[in-house]
Structure 1
Amino acid sequence: MRLTQLRLLIVFSLGYFISYLFRGVNLGFAPFLIHDLGLSPADLGTLTSLYFLGFAGAQIPVGVLLDRFGARRVTACVMLIAAAGALAFSRADDLGAMMVGRFLIGVGVSACLGGAFKATAQHFAVGQLTFVNGIVMAAGGMGGVAVGAPLSWLLSVTGWRSVGTGIAVLTAAAAAAIWVGAPSKQEAHPHTSLIDQFKGTWHVLSSRAFWKLGAFSGLTQSVFYAMQSLWVGPYLRDVALAGVPGAAARAATLVSVLGAAFIAGNLGFGALARALERRGVSVYLSSGVTMLSFVVVQAMIAARVPLPETVLWAAYGALGGMGILTYAVLAEHFPARLLGRVNTSFTLVIFLAIFALQVAIGAALGRWPMHDGHYASAAHRTVWAVLVAMQVAAAIWYFAPKGRVRAAEAAADVKA
């Protein structure tokens, strides 16, 4: 790996770490927000999901900007919005102001993933992308580790507002690192009009191949991130560890285990997918098998299969992000000039689904009465059963041979 490529990986991985940290930080903040502001489950779900709404809403314009101005400039500049949002969130005194701050955070980190994948696609060979993108995702997964036991410890020694301010400063520093440290690359079509570029986004979203490749992946990822960033903690405390002494501390530890396994999974399965591809097994197939395995693990957790919690949640984390391999599949089948819009369109779908799921899960849990700050076990079990059923339906379409559309043929129809 050349020095330029290594530098690119470091700074964009830092950016995605920040994005992931913001994604799950309310998991640790939740008890304090409930205590300080008296939030209901629906309020908490809506507040947390505004990150995903802001992230999703910015994806189409960010995709156009990435293809027009490049990953370095767009990612660095947009991340400053996240820094401002984090400051607003940490200083807010009411729910409305916090919602604004949380939304701005989502907008501000909206380029971190698409920008990273745009940059890696430009500076690495296609055959390296499953592994390289796995490294980026693994770095982001460190944020999932950080919002477990480390954040729990930090909140025991300082207030959540101080933590939020510190993350804002870290975000501004990461933006500066990307601006200074990331290599630039001249875009192939700098004079294409913005209208034509938006048309390219529409062609991507209207492509049946895009949905055939991405629907199962998008759903598994949205379920994983919706749960990991907020609802895994309550499930562990209220169901999996109900009645266990020190359940809250044990739940925080398992969240970190989940995050660490996510890192290992992205590195290990990304390398495995590349190795299998050399032996004739498509990334499409290997990705599908790992995503289906993730659904099986969810069913085992929901069914309370008598296995050690550490094993189950490590498997959950290791397999939960495997839909990320779909980005490499899309990169193979869509023109290079569209990769910014393809990546951000796919991310848009995922994050809109996360937003909807977090709000819906909060509303569903709120339909059962709470007891001593805990949600009803029946509410959690119902949510998990519905989510598993949805993913099974998506898996059937993913693997069904009938009506399969060749992505390369569909991509050839994209003109912008």
Structure 2
Amino acid sequence: MKLTPRFFLHVFLPFALGYYLSYFYRVVNGVIAEPVALELGLGPATLGWIGSAYFLFFAAAQLPLGVLLDRYDTRKVAASILLLAAAGALVFAFATSAALLWLGRGLIGLGVSACLMSAFRAYAALVPPQRLAMINGLQLACGGLGALTATAPVELLLPLVGWRGLFVGLALLTLVIAVLVRLRVPEILSAENRSSDSLSIQIKDSLAIFRQPAFLRVAPASVLNQAIYIALLSLWAGVWLREVEGLSAAATADLLFWSAAGMVAGFMGLGWLTTRLHQLGFSATQVSIAGMLIFSLSLLILLLRLPIPASLVWILLGFFGSSGTLMYAALSQQFPKKLAGRVNTALNLLVFSSAFLIQWLIGVLIGLWPADSEGNYPLLAYISAFAAVAGCQFLALLWYFLAPRKPVTLESPE
């Protein structure tokens, strides 16, 4: 299918709005964490636990979602699941306990779990391979716009509507976008390249993806790159900036805004750069790995607290925190087209499982140190927790360079 205005209006726009919403839900937690914690008396471990519910439910949906997307109408799958996000937003809005906040956050994660993967499934079927990284990048950039509006703009809006009113509004917006996806996206998305295999074969192929050396070599670095930045932007970056750097809530929201802006630029810029470098013989995997190396160095700069402007460091983290997403396009082209949905969701399962663990464990690690009389934790607690996850990223990159290089041994791409 050609990238015509009709494609962007009827295919790209509905999916882009869905992913915008998904990322807004993901990141807004970092801005509302303080008022929620103050109202309900929550500590860092509980905050991490509540925030991680989004990623836990999101991750749990990925494998069955991959089968659904390869087997059924893409638009129906995406629109139906979005209804759960609307329900979750309402549960969160009226929650009076940590348990209800956790449940609401989890339902939101489950409800938006198809927003990106349904788009990637459609694009893998409709977009020429040489343009796939660029279109995926544009899709991801729309999610980045959701992250942008979930930072400083939300901070300005909170005094007017409160965090509960915000989530009531989000529930209504979610319903509108679900209807748009269902009615706007044409049925052709599910007619081409749909898997005709039995359910048992689809499940078997899904599990086989995780055993492929080609997948296992790149997955750890890609997964941790995305998961660490997601965990930071959606919660712990805000806590770091307030507790370690001593910034006000407004200044924190501003820096989160610029970091999210860096992420948007990364999604668009790296996708464009990959398309250009492809003509010179460089693969999406090579561009992705180079970006992840710079991301790791930016984490090191943050931890060492070098005399570099904080805005620059967080913009770099945002820009190169998107590097791992290039692997979706790289891997989908190495596997058969009928497996495109399951390959993407297999990687996504690992990303959000890791984001769940990282977001929760950072809070647990910080809580290992005693708080002072005002509930503040020492600098060493934050540095140690962040250093632990940064070390995992360095080890994953080392694995990429040391792991054996073997081709996909499943059915050859069609």
Q: Same fold (TM over 0.5)?
A: yes
3-state SS of the aligned residue for 1:27?
A: helix
Q: CA contact under 8 A between 2:238 and 2:256: conserved in structure 1?
A: yes
Contact 1:49–1:358 (CA<8 Å) still a contact in 2? Answer: yes
What are the Cα deviations for residues 331-375 of structure 1, in whole angstroms up to 9, with x where unaligned? 110000000111111100100000011110011111123343543
* Larger displacement relative to structure 2 (27-36 or 369-378): 369-378
More deviation, 198-207/127-136: 198-207
Aligned in 2, Cα 1:238/1:282: closer, same or farther, shift over 3 Å?
A: same
1:399 corresponds to which residue?
401
- Once residues 317 and 370 of structure 1 are traced to their aligned partners in structure 2, the CA distance between those partners, rounded to angstroms, is 30
Aligned pair partner of 1:389 in 388, 391, 399? 391
Provide Cα deviations, 1:87-107, integer angstroms capped at 9, x if missing partner: 111112222222211111111
**Structure 2 residue 318 is the aligned partner of structure 1 residue 313:** no
Shift in alpha-carbon separation, 1:36–1:222, aligned structure 2, 3 A? same
The residue that corresponds to 1:137 in the other structure is 140
Structure 2 unpaired stretches of 5+? none
Match of 1:224 in 2: 229
Deviations 1:274-307 (A, max 9, x none): 1111101111111100111100011011111111
1:256 matched residue in structure 2: 257
Pick aligned residue for 1:19 from 18, 22, 26: 22
What does 1:106-125 correspond to in 2, within 5 Å?
106-125=109-128
Aligned counterparts of 1:354 and 1:410: Cα–Cα separation in 2: 29
Cα drift, residue 213 of structure 1: 2.3
1:358 aligns with 2:359: yes
Amino acid corresponding to residue 232 of structure 2 in structure 1: M
Instruction: Indicate conservation of the 8 Å contact 1:291/1:322, yes or no.
Output: yes
Q: For residue 13 of structure 1, what is the amino acid of its counterpart?
A: A
**Offset at residue 189 of structure 1 (A):** 4.7
Shift in Å at residue 203 of structure 1?
1.0
State the shift of 1:414 in Å: 10
Alignment of 1:14-413 (within 5 A): 14-185=17-188, 186-189=191-194, 191-239=196-244, 241-242=245-246, 247-371=248-372, 372-400=374-402, 403-406=404-407, 409-412=408-411
In structure 2, what is the Cα distance between the partners aligned to 1:270 and 1:191?
32
Amino acid of the structure 2 residue aligned with 1:411: L
CA distance in 2, matches of 1:307, 1:263: 22
In the alignment, residue 197 of structure 1 is paired with which amino acid?
Q
Q: Which letter does structure 1 place at the counterpart of 2:162?
A: G
Give yes or no for contact 1:70–1:187 (8 Å, CA) kept in 2: no
Q: CA RMSD in A?
A: 1.6
Q: Which amino acid aligns with 1:140?
A: G
For each residue in 1:190-211, what CA deviation from the matched residue of structure 2 results, as whole angstroms up to 9, or x when unmatched? 5432222111111112222211
CA 1:70–1:215: 2 relative to 1, 3 Å: farther
Q: Is the 8 A contact 1:80 1:171 kept in 2?
A: yes
Deviation at 1:188, TM superposition (A): 3.8
What amino acid is aligned across from residue 296 of structure 1 in structure 2? L
SS at match of 2:410: helix
Equivalent-residue separation in structure 2 for 1:190 and 1:288 (angstroms): 31
Q: SS at 2:297's partner residue?
A: helix
Structure 1 residues 210 and 105, CA gap change in structure 2 (3 angstroms): same
With 345-354 and 114-123 compared, the bigger mean Cα shift is at: 114-123
Inter-CA distance 323–62: structure 2 relative to 1 (3 Å threshold): same
1:37 alignment partner AA: L
Shift of 1:269: 1.2
Unaligned segments of structure 1, at least 5 residues: none
Q: Secondary structure at the match of 1:410?
A: coil
Q: Aligned partners of 2:304 and 2:110: how far apart in 1?
A: 37
> How many residue pairs are counted as aligned between the two chains?
408
Q: Which runs of 4+ in 1 moved over 6 A?
A: none
2: CA distance, partners of 1:130 / 1:335: 17
- Identify the range of structure 1 (372-381 vs 117-126) with the bigger mean alpha-carbon deviation: 372-381
- Contact 1:53–1:352 under 8 Å retained in 2: yes
Q: What amino acid maps onto 1:91 in structure 2?
A: F
Deviation at 1:3, TM superposition (A): 2.7
Amino acid at match of 1:304: R
- The one-letter amino acid paired with 1:287 is S
CA distance change for structure 1 residues 293 and 151 in 2, over 3 Å: closer, same or farther? same
Contact 1:54 1:106 in 2 (8 A): yes
Displacement of 1:49 in angstroms is 0.4
Distance 2:74 2:395 in 1: 36
Alignment-mate amino acid for residue 409 of structure 2: A
Q: Give the superposition deviation at 1:138.
A: 0.6
- What TM-score results when the alignment is normalised by the length of structure 1? 0.95
Does structure 2 retain, via aligned residues, the 8 Å contact 1:234–1:375? no
Aligned-residue sequence identity (percent) comes to 37
